């Protein structure tokens, strides 16, 4: 099955750029995620972590 996919992809000009682009998107997404995690305040994390347990939520009981 892989040889059919590989055979079709070999006929496309410039196809070698797509794996590089996807790797860069993956890398920059996780770098941004790690940056957000390490720069977010502890108070915000505590507040968000208590949301599922808050009985006075704005959405009410389902």
pLDDT digits (tens, 9 = 90+) for 13-38: 888 898 899 999 999 999 999 999 99
* 48 close to 42: Cβ distance less than 8 angstroms: no
Domain layout of the chain by residue ranges: 23-48
Higher-confidence residue of 51 and 4: namely 51
- Does pLDDT of 57 surpass 60? no
Distance CA 34, CA 24 (A): 15
Residue 14, helix vs strand vs coil:
coil
Distance CA 51, CA 21 (A): 37
Longest dimension (CA), the chain: 60
* 45 close to 51: Cβ distance less than 8 angstroms: no
pLDDT of residue 33: 96
Q: Which two tokens stand for residue 2?
A: 């892989």
């Amino acid at each position: 099955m892989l040889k059919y996919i590989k055979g079709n992809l070999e006929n496309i000009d410039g196809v070698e750029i797509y794996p590089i682009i996807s790797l860069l998107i993956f890398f920059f997404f996780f770098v941004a995620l790690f940056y957000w995690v390490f720069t977010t305040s502890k108070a915000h994390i505590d507040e968000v972590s208590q949301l599922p347990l808050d009985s006075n939520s704005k959405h009410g009981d389902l």
